[in-house]
Amino acid sequence: MALAILIATKRFIMNKKIIGSVVLGSMLTFAGVVYASNWADIGSDYEGKCHISEQIDTATWTRNGKVVRAWARTVYGPNHVSCSNKDYKELRDLSDYDCQARMIKTISVWFQDWSGKITSAEFDDVPIILEHVIPDTIGGDKFDYVCAALKHQDEKEVK
pLDDT tens figures, 88-108: 999 999 999 999 999 999 999
Residues 3 and 75 in one domain: no
β-bridge pairing 50-57 and 88-98: unpaired
Q: Let me know: does 55 contact 72? Beta carbons within 8 Å.
A: yes
pLDDT at 11 (0 to 100): 40
Selection from 67, 46, 72, 42 nearest residue 57 by Cα:
72
Please, which residues have CB within 8 angstroms of residue 5's CB and are 6 or more apart in sequence? 26
**pLDDT of 17 higher than 50:** no
Residues 12 and 74 in one domain: no
**Number of domains within the chain:** 2
Residues 24 and 57 in one domain: no
Q: Over pLDDT 70: what percentage of the chain?
A: 75
- Structural domain including 25 reads 1-32
> Hey, is 35 helix, strand or coil?
coil
pLDDT at 120 (0 to 100): 87
